[in-house]
A and B are shown apart, each in its own frame.
Chain A
Amino acid sequence: MTKTLLRTGAALAALVVAAPAMAEEITMIVCGDTMDPIHDKYIAEWEAQNDGWTVAPEVVGWGQCQDKVTTLAVAGTPVGLAYVGSRTLKEFAEFGLIEPIPMTEEEKASYYPNVVGTVTYQGEQWGVPVAFSTKAFYWNKDLFEEAGLDPETPPATWEEVIAAAKAVTENTDSAGFGLVAKTFDNTMHQFLHWVYTNNGQVVDDEGNIVLDSPEVLAALEAYKALVPYSEEGPTAYEQNEVRAIFLDGGVSMMHASIGAVSRLADTDINWGVANLPLGPEAKGPGTLLITDSLAVFSGTGVEEQAISLAKFLTAPAAQEEYDLNAGLTPLRPSPTIDALVEEQPYWAPYIEGIEFGGPEPLFTDYRAFQNIMIEMVQSVVTGDAEPADALAKADAALKELE
């Protein structure tokens, strides 16, 4: 008995002494259904290079991911590293929940233009971009032909889009354009494509709200002009639902991400993809630039190592492998990406739009910003408000919000 007690005591003492030498852990939340094998591979490599450190990733479904990360941070038990929408970075930064992750000039220059802007607030970077999404224009060539339009020439301007939508609606059984106006975040995203293809802005470089501008008004008027030529009741559809209608031949044109390509491959639709058509004030091809980032939360005691891990996972070679594997718009140019575009030309519009693209505007209360934009779009689409009035109202609401 005494021997057993002594042995147990010795074992416990050994554990206490050994504790400081045990591996330290970085907790990590990844949004999605499964852990990407590329990230798994690079996490293992990072662990091998950082002796004594382990990474504990937890996969959380998209629906709960953002709320879980936020709740943990507010409760004082933050996760070490988390996958977040870059739109939330300002909110986290302002409330002191995350650490800045400064980028060197060389690092910044490695990305496509405007990408670093999606994670920059008050001159500092608050996350490392890890996933990128841009949009392009799709059209159904058969419906174009049936409507008497040239199937091989996509509309290049808003005016041409509206004219083509009218022709398809009047001459076929399908609607012209897949308009998105549901109470859903991507209604705001879809509208921002129009803003960024007309040289418009929501927030200028000095942080001023500049929504009420002729460029944005023109975008809202174009949106309204498409309502009679869109699917019935655009306020019932978000972008994936509109994509389903396009895949079913119910609309002839839409704005969509690269994911549409693989879905179209399973259909008989004769389709084409091009740059988003431009508004009258456009300076070049544009698109909304959406990134997700790896953010490092404050108060964990492992911030430095978490930053190291974030940078390791998003280093050019690792990131490129991840982008290609996941089918995401690449974050950085490279010879591999040039070869990809040459081999699969449908990638070209997704990359060409980046140069004049714009970020999701950063607001402290991002959800309120989103709601104001959705309300503006819906009021115009349903005919409850004229574009100029809806725009002025939204601009005033955004100024009050900030």
Chain B
Amino acid sequence: MPGQKSAVLFAWILLIPALLYVAAIVAYPLVDTFHLSFTDASLRKTTNWVGWKNYQKIFDTEFAEIIGRTFVWTFLSVSLKMIIGTGGAVLLNAALPGRAVFRILTMPPWIVPMAIGIFMWGWMYNGQFGMISGLLQRFGLSDGPVAFLAYGSTAFWATIITDVWIGVPMVTMYMLAAIQSVPVDLHEAAWTDGASRFYRLRRITLPMIFPAAITMSMISLISTFNSFDIIWILTQGGPSGSTTTMIIDTYSTAIGSKKFGEGAARAVVICLFLSAFAILYFQAVTKLSRRMTT
């Protein structure tokens, strides 16, 4: 069918600018990073092909430990964001007086420029001048200053708490929108049948917002996995590497030590993990949409 052929051709011609754009800003950097990961690229003007050496090297070092730490950090942060964000959304959806004010009050962590918010937390964690240490001492919960960023375990949790603080508003707003999309008549019918508020939450609201929660979790997972600014500004991965995640290690290797080849190999590993998350996400979404339509 010559008419159909020319229509397809016309469609491709229309797509060319967008394809070129995607090729230039997505495909080319990806392919180049993949290529770079098999070289010894550094500040040296020449680069050599080194095969799998960069990959062998990263798994010979403490990178396996860093991968584990990244997963724990991400899991804790995303879980807390989802629990607090969903809980906040449920409360904000309740018919409470001044609800609009509370909704506005959830926004500052999102509105404040991220770096400023992180520096603010850095000061709050400061043992000598920080608010948290001061309050602990004032209420007799600590004998002296507590420097939260000085020790591996406290620094690890401090970075998670800051990440949660920044991430919760987005989850809250998204989940609030999901809750508001639940048909009111379902709640009214359940209420007429004598269902308690908690029962309605458990049996109507939560199942209805589950697809949105899956989507939000995945979006949050990907951004948290690659969360750089918070850890870098607060601890630079320290003390003693206790807050070094994959993205921090990749930055330190590629930009700090100028080992572009090794850094690219780390970036490819991150990319593979994120691709796996994306596949899981799309599978979950497909399954859910099938369930919803049948």
Contact = CB atoms under 8 A, between A and B. Distances in A.
Interface of A: 67, 70, 73-74, 91-92, 95-97, 181-184, 231-237, 241, 244-245, 248, 250, 365, 367-368, 371, 374-375, 378-379, 382, 384
Interface in B195-243: 235-241
Say what secondary structure dominates the interface of chain B.
loop
Interface residues of B, number: 31
B151 A70 contact: no
B267 interface: no
Contacts, number: 89
23 contacts: A74-B43, A95-B42, A95-B43, A96-B45, A182-B149, A182-B239, A231-B128, A231-B145, A232-B127, A232-B144, A232-B146, A232-B147, A232-B150, A233-B145, A235-B151, A235-B239, A236-B150, A241-B126, A244-B128, A365-B257, A378-B239, A379-B240, A382-B239
Contacts of B239: 181-183, 235-236, 378, 382
Nearest to A299: B45
A375 B241 CA distance: 8
Given A235-B147, A248-B129, A367-B252, 6 more contacts: A96-B44, A183-B239, A233-B147, A233-B149, A248-B128, A378-B240
A379 B126 CA distance: 21
A270 B238 CA distance: 35
Contacts of B145: 231-233
B255 A67 contact: yes
B43 A92 contact: yes
A181 B235 CA distance: 12
A367 B256 contact: yes
Contacts of B152: 382
Contacts of B236: 183-184
A367 B257 contact: yes
Contact of B148 (A67, A236, A375): A236
A375 B128 CA distance: 23
Interface in B114-152: 125-129, 144-152
B256 A236 contact: no
A157 B151 CA distance: 30
Interface of B: 42-45, 125-129, 144-152, 235-241, 252, 255-259
Given A96-B45, A236-B150, A375-B241, A244 B129 contact: yes
Given A236-B149, A236-B150, A365-B257, A70 B238 contact: no
Nearest to B158: A236
Q: Which of A95, A183, A379 has the most CB of B within 10 A?
A: A183
Given A70-B43, A74-B43, A367-B252, A237 B240 contact: no
Contacts of B258: 70, 91, 365, 367
Nearest to B149: A236
Contacts of A235: 147, 149-151, 238-240
Contacts of A183: 235-239
Contacts of B128: 231-232, 244-245, 248, 250
A232 B137 CA distance: 13
Nearest to A183: B238
A96 B43 CA distance: 9
A74 B43 CA distance: 6
B127 A233 contact: yes
The 7 closest A-B pairs by CB, nearest first: A183-B238, A233-B150, A233-B147, A236-B150, A236-B147, A235-B239, A95-B43
Given A378-B240, A379-B240, A382-B240, A233 B256 contact: no
B144 A91 contact: no
A390 to B, nearest CB: 11
A181 B148 CA distance: 14
Given A97-B43, A378-B240, A233 B151 contact: yes
Contact of A182 (B43, B44, B238, B252): B238
A237 B145 CA distance: 13
A234 B125 CA distance: 13
Nearest to B125: A236
B233 to A, nearest CB: 11
A244 B237 CA distance: 23
Contacts of B149: 182, 233, 235-236
Nearest to B241: A375
